[in-house]
Amino acid sequence: MEKFDNNSDLYKISLFVVISCLLIFAPLARGSVQSWAGTIIQILTLTGLGVMILNSLKTNRPVFRQTILSRGIAGLMVLVILSFLFSSHKPFALEGFLMFLTYVVIYYAVVWISRNRSLERALVYVIVGVAFLVSLIGILKRVDMNPFFWWIYPEMEGYKEGFLTGVYVNPNHLAGYLEMVIPLVMVLFITKFRSLEQKFILTCIVLVLMITQVLTLSRGGWISCFGGVVFLSVILASGKQFDQKRMVIIIAICAAFIGVTILAATPVVKTVSDLTRAYPEESLSARIRTWQGTVHMIRENPWTGTGPNTFAIVYPSYQVPGLPLLSRRAHNDYLQFISEIGILCLPVILLILFTFYKFGFKTLKIPSRQKQGFTLGGMAGVFAIVIHSFYDFNLFVPANAVLFTVIAAIASGREPGN
């Protein structure tokens, strides 16, 4: 783990500021689903890349430092490049290729930051703080007390009414965002000694995030968040090296109990049932039809796909009749990845996940409570989004993709062999 020194302080802090701006901007800008927000993310990332290059020139160190995931990322890079070159929709494929490069740069920027304990800790606090703010905004909007007019979307009036969406438009994407952060908040109890006041504040944050998650009424979000919390609890319960693990497990159980209590309330269950009927495109049968069309699309373009970011352009020709709306996403990240960059991406993704968790479990054995805790939180958050990706497209929402990249980098940024 690196320490501050006079030669690189400015570069490290500058890069930390850039990544913090990304983490703050991406979700608050409506999830960054609009093209202008994506452009700002790329500009900020390019700024961070400039800082990394300047530091590399000064220290004679590589811009992109080796991690356990580097080979997998390189494999994905090759597949994305080939998919772009063979795509019949170059302008859209180029945009997708640039966004992939953006996430790669963010990953390596966070790897560099996370090798400094103070900056790594501060980065996690930024993530938690933004998630808490997003949750508060969502709760205020839900009870019609939103003081921020820029998070009122009149053009979407009537859409998903009754769901808690917060700064997002789609509640499933807010749920996907929160399910990655909640485990990271819980592990803050074990990364260092906390005073009673700090424990109380962290407990309140966990409860606010869990209540917000429940009120999104996202079934995929509920299942995924529960899966992430269970993963976290099982590892804590089986690991002798964790201090304060009983408190984290108790808080996890209490949070789950509160969530189940809210869900068990008749008005909430009735609301979910009514809203599901109001949006038939959100039903399982509609998703299955979308998946069927996507599979047909894959069969026609098996090896290099149709090109990154081309699903919305190509899919209409393959949509199965009977859907109420034209799907712009596959509602399954894995199927969409395969359809856009080819079937060979599946073994690469599986290899990355295997390597990530294998390395993560090794990291849990090193004598650093902070690294143990943040790695465990990152592993649980990734586990949650891996589940949710079977049913939705959170990793194609820039804000959620940025957060996923950051927590994956924190969990895998330790130098191999150390």
Q: Contact 331/392 with Cβ under 8 angstroms? A: yes
State the number of CA atoms in the 13 A half-sphere of 17 facing the CB: 8
- Residue 201's pLDDT band (boundaries 50, 70, 90)? very high
Q: In which residue are the tokens 């290099």 written?
A: 304
Question: Residue 21: is its pLDDT beyond 70?
Answer: yes
Residue 304 lies in a domain: no
Q: What is the pLDDT of residue 253?
A: 72
* Residue of higher predicted confidence among 279 and 43: 43
The one-letter code for the residue type at 398 is P
Here the tokens at position 167 are 């700064």
Query: Is 291 a domain residue?
Result: no
Per the CB < 8 A criterion, the answer to whether 354 and 407 are in contact is: no
pLDDT band at 238 (very low <50, low <70, confident <90, very high): confident
Q: In whole angstroms, how far apart are CA 114 and each of 138, 313, 345, 367?
A: 30, 38, 28, 16
User: Residue 71 and residue 59: Cα distance in Å, rounded?
Assistant: 24
Name the more confident of 238 and 277.
238
| Averaged pLDDT for residues 280-287 | 71
Q: CA dist 68 to 75, 154, 355, 385, 389, Å?
A: 13, 46, 7, 20, 23
Q: How many domains are there within the chain? A: 1
Q: What percentage of the chain carries pLDDT values higher than 90? A: 60
Give the H or E element holding residue 142.
helix 117-142
Asked whether the predicted pLDDT for residue 6 surpasses 60, the reply is: no
- Residue 171, amino acid: P
> Given pLDDT bands bounded at 50, 70 and 90, which one contains residue 349?
very high
Q: Is the pLDDT of residue 259 over 70?
A: no
pTM of the complete model beyond 0.85: yes
Residue 49 within any structural domain of the chain: yes
Of 202-206, 284-288, 342-346, 376-380, the poorest mean pLDDT is in 284-288
The whole-angstrom separation of Cα 398 and Cα 406 is 12
Q: Are 69 and 355 in contact (CB under 8 A)?
A: yes
Does any domain span residue 372?
yes
Is residue 54 one of the residues assigned to a domain? yes
Residue 234 lies in a domain: yes
Chain position carrying tokens 């749920």: 175
- What average pLDDT is seen over the chain? 87
Token code pair at residue 307: 């090109």
pLDDT single digits (tens) 67-92:
999 999 999 999 999 999 999 999 99
Q: Does the residue 287 lie in any domain?
A: no
Residue 77 resides in a domain: yes
pLDDT confidence of residue 337: 97
Could you tell me the pLDDT band of residue 127, with boundaries at 50, 70 and 90? Answer: very high
Q: Which residues pair with 116 in a beta bridge?
A: 2
221 or 145: which carries more pLDDT confidence?
A: 221
| Whether residue 159 has pLDDT greater than 80 | no
Mean pLDDT, residues 236-250 taken together: 70
Identity (one letter) of the amino acid at 63? V
Q: Could you tell me the residue range of the domain that residue 47 belongs to? A: 11-281+326-412
